[in-house]
Structure 1
Amino acid sequence: MKRLNFKAGETGLNRFFGPLEAKIMDILWSTSDRSIKEVQTALKGDRDFNFNTVMTVMNRLVEKGILSKSIHGRTSLYRPVLSREEFMDEQSKELSHELVDEFGPLAVNHMIDALEMADPVLIERLEQKIKQWKKDM
């Protein structure tokens, strides 16, 4: 899956998706294999979205390779292609590679600077990964 457009000023899933797309993905990641009507019903607490609007957004997510669609009788069921964790892992990996490719040492320096605010457990895992990487060289 290619990296989606990353919106730096947003948070959470809104960094990768539009607001309605993010809400739909949240629903499908919590309960997969849902019809458009079921997703529309789950969205009702948030706002009353038109069936055609929800259908259009879900079908666009299929076209982008984010959702898969299967036909069961007369009903189309949708499910995420990747779990939330797999999606976030893949997107962050692609974003990191692009930053390093484009900005090289500057990106790496800024990532290291950001570690000042990181959890000590994360820093320990990074140190272990660097040791393993050096050993494999």
Structure 2
Amino acid sequence: MHQIKPGDKGLNRFFGPLEAKIMDIVWSADESSIRDVQSRLALDKNVNFNTVMTVMNRLADKNMLAKRTEGRLTLYRAVLSKEQFLVSRSKELTLELVDELGPLAVHHMLDVLEEADPLLLDKLERKIRAMKTGAEP
């Protein structure tokens, strides 16, 4: 499994701390310049413009951000929405766990469901029933 840090919380499971903050900022706007992101980061602590530029360009290299130039200004936007990213990564993680650990991964997922919201359990039950009958959930 790549770039998953199980001990961390939220976006820090997938990104470094500064990357996670930058992604949150970019997700909150349609497009952002490096200066926009740096000024929003500066509310927490002073972060160097060049550091922000380097991290944003690395995120673009990883296809997390897309960039376009408008005159002398480079604008960045997220390639996926935050929801799309989390759905994609959680599905990828689940598939990798099941592929690598097989029944053990499924067993532990079922154990965790004992603490799950009853509505989630109902949804899971409908999904399993639909899978067995070939119907739509």
User: After the TM superposition, which residues 54-65 of structure 1 pair with which residues of structure 2 at under 5 Å, given as runs?
Assistant: 54-65=52-63
Q: Quote the Cα distance in structure 1 between the aligned partners of 2:80 and 2:2.
A: 14
Q: 2 CA distance for matches of 1:131 and 1:80? A: 37
Distance 2:8 2:35 in 1: 28
Determine which of 24, 27, 30 is the counterpart of 1:26.
Answer: 24
| One-letter amino acid of the structure 1 residue matched with residue 13 of structure 2 | R
Counterparts of 2:133 and 2:77, CA distance in 1: 40
Partner residue of 2:51? Answer: 53
TM-score, normalized by length of structure 1?
0.95
TM-score (norm 2): 0.95
Unaligned runs of 5+ in 2: none
Instruction: List per-residue Cα deviations over 1:99-119 (Å, max 9, x = no partner).
Output: 000000000000000001111
Counting only pairs closer than 5 Å after superposition, residues 91-110 of structure 1 correspond to structure 2 as 91-110=89-108
SS of structure 2 residue aligned to 1:88: helix
Counterpart residue identity of residue 95, structure 1: L
Are 2:90 and 1:129 aligned? Answer: no
Tell me if 1:86 matches 2:84.
yes
Structure 2 counterpart SS, 1:117: coil
What is the aligned-residue RMSD (CA, Å)? 1.2
Which residue identity does 2:101 align to in structure 1? F
**4+ aligned runs moved over 4 Å, structure 1:** none
**Identity score, percent:** 59
Distance 1:10 1:116, change over 3 A: same
User: What is the total number of aligned residue pairs between the two structures?
Assistant: 135
- Flag the structure with more relative contact order, 1 or 2, with Cα contacts below 8 A and sequence separation at least 6: 1
SS of corresponding position for 1:37: helix
